[in-house]
Amino acid sequence: MSGHSKWSTIKHKKAKVDSQRAVVFQKYSRELIVSARLGGPDPAGNFRLRTAIEKAKAAGLPNDNIKRAIEKGAGAGAADNYEELTYEGYAAGGVAVFVEAMTDNRNRTAGDVRSYFTKYNGSLGATGCVGWMFDQKGVITYSEDTDFDKLFEAAINLDAEDVTEDEGQYKVITSVDNFQNVVEGLEKEGLKSETAELTRIPQNTIEVTDEKTADQILKLLDKLEEHDDVQNVYANFDISDEIMQKLEG
């Protein structure tokens, strides 16, 4: 499980075991359905769908599943009427949490999310209570084998906001509006990304020094991410490697 001092600039990702593959596949399928419904079934003209397909393939979603989801979204099958919602609140220790969900039953999802916050000493808040603490950005990652000088020059020429190195990867940071332009521009330069997604980066982080609080935060995030309707979870905590090792032990 990830979640340590480096977590402050990326969203929490829990390693999925085989028993959870169905949940993971469901999340990618929903994104494919909604992307196809909103922008059409042709990935060449639907950037969101193209990105969703690439992420689904990287996660191991079978091609037949991808095809069926796109057909559902395009109206070829009985598509579920998913809507995109967000939830905001505080975990233990006053840590801000922002949740992106995709659901066909908002009452069910809201009830479940609220119960998780309550169970792990947090509280679900009103819309806007923590959203302002997270900047929505495009993040495009490249392996360390990539020619950094070429990547940096091309990214700056495309008006990317920053190029950083983090844990053996290069990351290109963009505004939301310029995300597609940068992704496609770098591809034209022969620079193949590992991932490309819109994410939320906290403006600042809260250092968690208490082991019990850290445990409650991580359990809340895990519970949220395991929910079928939840697509992404973001939080602004920073936990030391020492505490993480104790919790994982």
State pLDDT tens for residues 76-109. Answer: 655 568 899 999 999 999 999 999 999 999 999 9
Taking a C-beta distance cutoff of 8 angstroms, is the pair 142, 155 a contact? no
Of all residues in the chain, the percent with pLDDT exceeding 90 is 70
State pLDDT tens for residues 216-249. Answer: 999 999 999 999 999 999 999 999 888 888 888 7
State pLDDT tens for residues 127-147. Answer: 999 999 999 999 999 999 999
Quote the pLDDT of residue 77. Answer: 56
Whole-angstrom distance, CA of residue 95 vs CA of residue 83: 27
Average pLDDT, the chain: 88
Q: Distance of CA 239 to CAs 99, 137, 228, Å? A: 20, 23, 27
State pLDDT tens for residues 37-66. Answer: 989 999 999 999 999 999 899 888 899 999
pTM (two decimals): 0.84
DSSP 151-179: HHHHHHHTT-SEEEEETTEEEEEE-TTTH
Tokens of 89: 């609140």
Q: Distance of CA 118 to CAs 97, 114, 128, 133, 224, Å? A: 13, 6, 19, 22, 12
Q: Sheet harboring 134-143: ordered strands across? A: 162-166, 169-174, 134-143, 195-202
**Domains within the chain, CATH numbers bracketed:** 5-74 (1.10.10.200), 83-132+204-248 (3.30.70.980), 134-202 (3.30.70.980)
State pLDDT tens for residues 164-208. Answer: 998 789 999 999 999 999 999 999 999 999 889 999 999 999 999
| Residue 213 in this model has a pLDDT that exceeds 50 | yes
